[in-house]
Structure 1
């Protein structure tokens, strides 16, 4: 996940990731559930939120939240905002304001 960064694909599915890894999708799903204690979508969301945080922290003036959302692999503003606030305790715009210099 960290090297190839497949989570940046907004349409990533467990089947696609399993094909990339060369494992059956059921095995991948079970490994994520049992090994990490979360489902596939939660795992992908965690990586996407981490990416969004990195981008917001390094954002140049004029970078929009929407641009960061798409560049992080999200394609829904409401899903992005909800997941971001759950992970960080603040909205993406508040996070960006706190981390801009």
Structure 2
């Protein structure tokens, strides 16, 4: 996933192109690949955007689940794998997704 600074640079480059700069000038000025910039201008999704749709949990849910596990481990109570999977399965149920998670 592109970093926030890369996303901001890309947005600035797009604004420059919309203001009349060439793709080459904007990509050089903002250190963004010309191909990447062209794809964003044409509305093509990034690979991360495409892959996120195929994930069972959203990026936010993944991050929250990971943060929960890290917080517990910092206080000396790292959750066992079965508990981690149980929380993930509950998130799937909350999302109204009948998908299974990992080996059943």
What range describes the TM-score normalised by the shorter chain of this pair?
A: under 0.3
Work out which structure has the larger RCO, using CA pairs closer than 8 Å and 6 or more positions apart in sequence: 1
Larger Rg: 2
Q: Structure 1 length as normaliser, TM-score? A: 0.28
* TM-score normalised by the chain length of structure 2: 0.27
